[in-house]
Structures are given as C-alpha cells and as structure tokens.
C-alpha cells in the first residue's frame, strides 16, 4: 500500500524566503518541507522532497514515482515550468498518480503569461495563493483520498 507523498519544487524555489518576499513570503523551502513532513506524519505517511532548477530532474522524479509503487501522490509546484513545459505535462500524465498543483501566489492575479498552466488540466487539484499553507493542504488532500 502506498505510504509516501512526493513533493516536487521547480526552479528558483530554493530561494524561498529571500526572493521577492512580498510575493512569495518569508518562509523558506526548509519550512515548506517541514510542514509537508508534519502533515504527512499525522496520517502515518512519509514525504520525499526534491527541488530542482532543471526540468529533466523533475521529469525523472515523476518517472521514478510511477515505478516505485509506494507513492500515494505528488505535490507539485513547477514554478515557471507550469507555464512553459509540455514535457512536464507529459510526465505528469504518464506517472499515473494523483497530482496536486500548488502555487504560493495566485498566478491569476499576476502577469498574463502566468494565467496559463499546462499542468492544471491534468492535475487532480490546484491550490493557489495560500502561501506555504497550500502545501499542507495538498498533503492533507492526498492523505485523505488514500
């Protein structure tokens, strides 16, 4: 039975807490990962977290999750790749796992190019604009859906 949630973070999210805090807040990536681990533990789950500035690493992680057999679902903040990556879209579709797309800010309240997500049509759920709390809700959603 799957007992793990995969949390993937895309480009520039390693700079959380210092990059444009007026948009993304002051919480760090370590804070995000701790929150996800805490929420998962409340449901007897583990998390594996990966942040990469490289599209291929995120795609590889989705492929590995598909093959692993112990992954319940994926929390994915693809950052800028949300709006540009057909390859990531294809990997989300191919992984066969429920994916929750997460955005710290509300992309619809920002520049027009951020209004289009290649991932939303294949994500089970989209959470946007809730800061790091969105990650916690995403883990909760995956845990509760089983």
Spatial distance between the Cα atoms of 36 and 94, rounded to a whole number of angstroms: 24
Instruction: State the Rg of the chain over Cα.
Output: 14
Asked if 54 is an active-site residue, the reply is no
The string over 127-143, giving b where at least 16 C-beta atoms fall within 10 Å of a residue's C-beta and e elsewhere, is bbebebebbbbbbebbb
For the chain, report the end-to-end CA distance as a whole number of angstroms: 10
Q: Is the dihedral of CA 55, 60, 61, 66 positive or negative?
A: positive
Active site residue 103: yes
Catalytic pick among 81, 103, 118, 135: 103
What residues are labeled active site?
A: 24, 103
């Amino acid at each position: 039975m799957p007992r793990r949630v995969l949390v993937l973070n895309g480009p520039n999210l390693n700079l959380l807490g210092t990059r444009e805090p007026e948009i993304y807040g002051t919480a760090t990536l370590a804070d995000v990962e701790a929150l996800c681990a805490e929420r998962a533990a409340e449901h007897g789950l583990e998390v594996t977290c990966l942040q990469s500035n490289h599209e291929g690493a995120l795609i590889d992680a989705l492929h590995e999750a598909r093959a692993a057999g112990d992954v319940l679902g994926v929390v994915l903040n693809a950052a800028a790749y949300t709006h540009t990556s057909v390859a990531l879209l294809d990997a989300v579709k191919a992984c066969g796992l429920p994916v929750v797309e997460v955005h710290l800010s509300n992309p619809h309240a920002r520049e027009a190019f951020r209004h289009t997500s290649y991932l939303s049509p294949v994500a089970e759920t989209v959470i946007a604009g809730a800061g790091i709390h969105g990650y916690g809700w995403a883990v909760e959603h995956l845990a509760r859906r089983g």
